[in-house]
Amino acid sequence: MLIDLSGKTALVTGSTQGIGFAIAKGLAASGARVGLNGRTASRVEKAADELRAAVDGADVVVVDADVSTAEGADRAVELLPNVDILINNLGIFGTADPLSISDDEWRKYFEVNVLAAVRLTRLYLPGMIERGWGRVQYIASDSAIVIPAEMIHYGVSKTALLGVSRGFAKVAAGTGVTVNSVIAGPTHTGGVEDFVYELVDKSLDWDAAQREFMRLHRPQSLIQRLIEPEEIANMVVYLASELASATTGGAVRVDGGYVDGILP
């Protein structure tokens, strides 16, 4: 399938590395102008150089803004006023004793993982509706459905994103704007490597550590390996295209079969 996003502008939050960077790369390769986002200008500039090197002719806009704050969201809009494709990828995760997670930590997870996406949707969705075309996506997680005991606060924040996505899809009903969430399964990123080594023997090499992690902590995976970020990006790029014009209000899985359910 040929996906051509020429003439479209995208913003991918938290996109200097990992899944976010892979999504930005995929969108740029399909012709979109891409807003690359991170908290510090130097880090975003470095990622922008990497993206331009990876995608010939990539049109990249540096959006150095902490979009987990209202001030940062306003700065993002100042730097990139009109967005056709909004990918709410920014998120934090980590393990914690579920009975010791403080109120402040719960608030932090909701502020970063949920409210950041809600704010940007409020800011950009009206313009999409007015123009009669747009794509909003929320990068959720298998943890939204299969809540891990060691990451309850993270899992619940991702569950909230599924509801946010469905609700805003109804707001955009009949306008030409689609709103979806993408349920990403266990994915191979630098941060996840650290997470894996929190749970398995640190003396193991990466391949052995990954196999042990999947065996002990993610045995439901049908592909029995971590997903590569580009595999998540492929779905996001598709949902951002005209080819997915009838897909909205959905929670689309790229989880390697991890979630033991038939739908979606």
Catalytic residues: 154
pLDDT confidence of 163, banded at 50, 70, 90?
Answer: very high
Q: Write down all domains in the chain, each with its CATH number in brackets.
A: 9-187+231-244 (3.40.50.720), 188-226 (no CATH)
The per-residue pLDDT for range 172-225, each reduced to its tens digit, is: 999 999 999 999 998 998 778 888 999 999 999 998 999 899 999 889 999 988
Average pLDDT rounded to a whole number, residues 96-105: 96
pLDDT confidence of 38, banded at 50, 70, 90?
Answer: very high
Omega before residue 98 within 30° of 0, cis: no
Least confident range of 54-58, 61-65, 177-181, 216-220: 216-220
Average pLDDT rounded to a whole number, residues 133-156: 96
Answer whether residue 264 shows pLDDT above 80.
no
For 240, the token pair is: 């951002």
Sheet holding 60-64, edge to edge: 60-64, 33-38, 9-12, 85-88, 134-141, 177-184, 251-254
The per-residue pLDDT for range 243-262, each reduced to its tens digit, is: 999 999 999 999 999 999 88
Q: Using a pLDDT cut of 70, give the percent of the chain over it.
A: 100
**Nearest-angstrom CA–CA distance, 227 and 222:** 11
Provide the mean pLDDT of the chain: 96
